Homo-oligomer: A and B are copies of this chain.
Amino acid sequence: MRIFLTTALASVLLLLAPMQATAAADEDGYDLWLRYKPLEHSAQTRLKAQAGSIVLTGKPSPTTQVAIDELQKGLAGMLGRAPAQAAKVADNALVLATAASLPELRAELATLGDEGYLLRRTRLQGHNVTLIAANSDVGLLYGSYAWLRAAAIGAAPEASSAPQLKLRVLNHWDNLDRHVERGYAGQSIWDWWALPDIKDRRYTDYARANASLGINGTVLNNVNSKPEVLTAPYIAKAAAVADVLRPYGIKVYLSARFSTPLELRETDTADPLSPAVQAWWKNKADEIYKAIPDFGGFLVKANSEGQPGPQDYHRNHADGANMLAAAVAPHKGIVMWRAFVYAHGTEKSTDRAKQAWDEFKPLDGTFAPNVLVQVKNGAIDFQPREPFHPLFGAMPKTPLMMEFQITKEYLGFSTDLAYLGTMFEETLKSDTKTAPQGRTVTQTLSGIAGVSNIGSDRNWTGSHFDQANWYAYGRMAWNPQASARAVAAEWAAQTFSPDPRVVAPVVEMMMSSRETVVDYMTPLGLHHMMGTSHHHGPAPWVDNLERPDWNPVYYHRAGRDGIGFDRTASGSNALAQYAPEIARQYADPRTTPEQLLLWFHHLPWDYQMPSGRTLWAELLGRYDKGVAETRELHARWMTLKPLIDARRHAEVEQRLTRQIDNAVLWRDACIAYFQSVSGLPLPPGVKAPPLPLEKYKALQYPYAPGRG
């Protein structure tokens, strides 16, 4: 990774003349960040001089054709007219060239790997050209998107770039009936019923959008998988999708249900050490690779939340993963094995936060080389804020993958605005303090997965701002060192307008938005206080679910004496799973980051916070701050009305209004509940919730979307 758009972008944006003084035409969001709107005149002049024609020096392929089509589409939009493709290099040509035709750049290209690219103005065959160079056709495609991105926002393109993580995938939690578990943007885009004969145009546009970010794999179906997905009809359907995605450098993966052969009645066990089971998976892999020669491999959720797995046969996770890995290894396939497990340990004494580490850490070094262990960013479950998962840095002999959740299961669905770039950044840049020499979480990774927020809604993600989370995931998967702010600015400039009067306030809204959600939902390290099953709305009072660790009361442990989960040595000692330096620091509430305070400590209500307030007053203050901030988000958006097309402005505005209501509900219900537990009076200035606690408890959301 060489130069990334950060301050560069901001300064260039300031140079752009104010645009869009008149009302912009309505947009529906389908074009995402690939809008390619006309540039203002001087930018057009500059760009024309860099792309008089388009020349491909090497052999054409479906992938180079995609690159050329995209360049022509982009330039047609931005300039009003697309340059023609030419056979010969001429002055001002935009040249796509692989290493073979660029002996003088071979050394530099060699540092960029299979997918990297370089972009520059240079001389080629006696002409001044704009060069997009790479070692592969997909590198040329990525370079083309990078060049177009810079052009669209008026920034200088990166000189060169290469991804740090080889594996950058989306996980679709999409069921075969098109219901999306934790999906808030309509149905699955994969119309399994219609496939393979009927291939929706969306598949192509999905591929474009992902390729523009550098995402190179997608798991089509839910980790809570079904056996049918590995039957011949569904393999044919997956193959039809793979055919569409292939030119865009995107491999198809499938979530495999561990008990598939047993449930299809083709074996009489799913024991990974059974030769019949091993043979079944080998044959199945052969069958899949016949239909999809570049099939990526399997994602597996095993022995977790009721899913079958190797432990059903007294085998361990490595036994299970390695058996599947052996089946796909001859085809260069991989297995992504999830570490999100809490299959046993229902007794109250166990801390769910510890379970993944307890089960997986001892297996380090026992996994086959083509197995990656996929670890959620935190140890509970995609909460608005969690400390990084203690497995990062703890399994040095095992390739690990990060699993982020792009869809906002716990951060307001597709109604509330929460830009996750800041959360991704917070986790990726966390210092694990593990050897060698204090690695960040990023440095412990071999791959990254994002649980998709994509659906059939016209704007793909339900809300326009949730497009930014897909975007940020993709950009940070490519470059985990990227700053969330720079990515937000890039996105806003492409999605709304490069006008700094738009970009600056939109970026400010985005940058504060996730902390706002934390404030009105689960401040100060609280977690897992949402409604049962659908996960909507506050429910800190729930204490009657089958498993203790499904209950919010298990997590916040609020009582007359105080609040918080003691994960120090005096409690569950989950802290001991972290590097000693972290464990030492977080053992004391005074040296624990305030934002994680109640994650690690159970503290009395009158505990003195650094602010000088009691914990009780601080907690209430955070809820009020969260509500106030949603009002500010709305007010700030309203000032942008003259600068954004009416349709998208109204659609965002409706959601921001809804978010205020949601924040007020969380604030009121949580304060009513915690007061009932603490028995403390509300400090002066804190408004009492308008309803009695029972009324909040009685609220029902019977048809909330996205159920599991």
Contacts and interface: CB of A to CB of B under 8 A. Distances in A.
A194 B657 CA distance: 12
A604 interface: no
Interface in A415-429: 415
Tell which of A176, A187, A198 has the most Cβ of chain B within 10 Å: A198
Contact of A658 (B197, B458, B704): B197
Nearest to A184: B193
Contacts of A654: 197-199
Which of A197, A647, A658 has most chain B Cβ within 10 Å? A197
A177 B180 CA distance: 12
Interface in A189-222: 192-194, 197-199, 201
A228 B703 contact: yes
| Copies of this protein in the complex | 2
Given A186-B456, A456-B187, A458-B458, A703 B176 contact: yes
Contact of A201 (B28, B186, B657, B658): B28
A662 to B, nearest CB: 10
B201 A647 contact: yes
Interface string A435-474: 0000000000000000000001110000000000000000
A73 interface: no
A632 B456 CA distance: 33
A702 interface: yes
A226 B700 CA distance: 14
Interface string A644-664: 000100010011011001000
A178 interface: yes
Contacts of A178: 705
Nearest to A654: B198
Interface in A389-426: 415
Contacts of A661: 197
Contacts of A703: 175-177, 192-193, 228
B456 A198 contact: no
A655 B199 CA distance: 10
Interface in A677-708: 702-705
Interface in A561-592: none
Nearest to A413: B193
A55 to B, nearest CB: 26
A199 B653 CA distance: 11
Contacts of A226: 702
Given A187-B456, A654-B198, A193 B228 contact: no
Contacts of A198: 415, 651, 654-655, 658
A115 to B, nearest CB: 31
Given A197-B654, A198-B654, A705 B415 contact: no
A187 B180 CA distance: 12
Contacts of A194: 415, 658
Interface in A313-350: none
21 contacts: A175-B703, A176-B702, A176-B703, A177-B703, A177-B705, A178-B705, A186-B186, A186-B187, A186-B456, A192-B703, A193-B703, A194-B415, A194-B658, A197-B655, A197-B661, A198-B651, A198-B654, A199-B654, A228-B702, A228-B703, A456-B457
Given A193-B705, A197-B661, 16 more contacts: A28-B201, A175-B703, A176-B703, A177-B703, A186-B187, A187-B187, A187-B456, A197-B655, A198-B651, A198-B655, A198-B658, A201-B647, A201-B651, A228-B702, A456-B456, A456-B457
List the 9 closest A-B pairs by CB distance, nearest first. Answer: A176-B703, A197-B658, A177-B703, A198-B654, A193-B705, A197-B654, A187-B187, A197-B657, A228-B702
